Homo-oligomer: A and B are copies of this chain.
């Protein structure tokens, strides 16, 4: 159990690490930097993250994913009509274009180490959680008679998540939102009646 004060300290460390990573990249971020920025000593850092740097990076990924999910509300929880899906699509394109290119999964992939079992477990959990939201939206839209009832909701949700990840990957590498928009549009075109 972490006390209220302990939880606040842990959060301060995670937020400091997230800010360092956004500014300088995970590779350039050391525990010393995070300690300095959060005003915590090595002892405290290892109290909250006994396994050190990788454990902290995983906590940052979960924390940043929460911000991404929150940033997609209320749209993400109300995907029940064509209008709602299109508003969500527009929000995603705008967010990734204007609010920076930071992606929590990117940290897990390129910085924690793609072959780490802990990293894969956290990434799978984040993807699964996001996909569940989209799947629920597909089922609600099918129930409302506005989406193709023949489609498997979970597999279609997986395709939508993949389209976003792929669009963001291309955006990160080329600077263009073309693939993000094309991928989401094709998914919505197939899904909606």
**Which residues of A come within 8 Å of B, CB atoms?**
27, 101, 105-106, 108-111, 114, 119-120, 123-124, 127, 155-156, 158-159, 161-170, 172-176, 178-180, 182-183, 185-187, 189-190
Task: Give the complex CA separation of A108 and B178 in angstroms.
Answer: 18
CB distance from A61 to the nearest CB of B (A): 10
Can you identify 14 A-B contacts, CB atoms within 8 angstroms?
A: A109-B169, A109-B173, A119-B173, A127-B170, A127-B173, A155-B182, A156-B186, A159-B163, A159-B186, A165-B167, A165-B179, A166-B168, A168-B169, A183-B183
Given A110-B110, A186-B186, A190-B190, verify A167-B162 contact (CB < 8 Å). Answer: yes
**CB within 8 Å for A182 and B169 given contacts A163-B163, A174-B123, A189-B190:** no
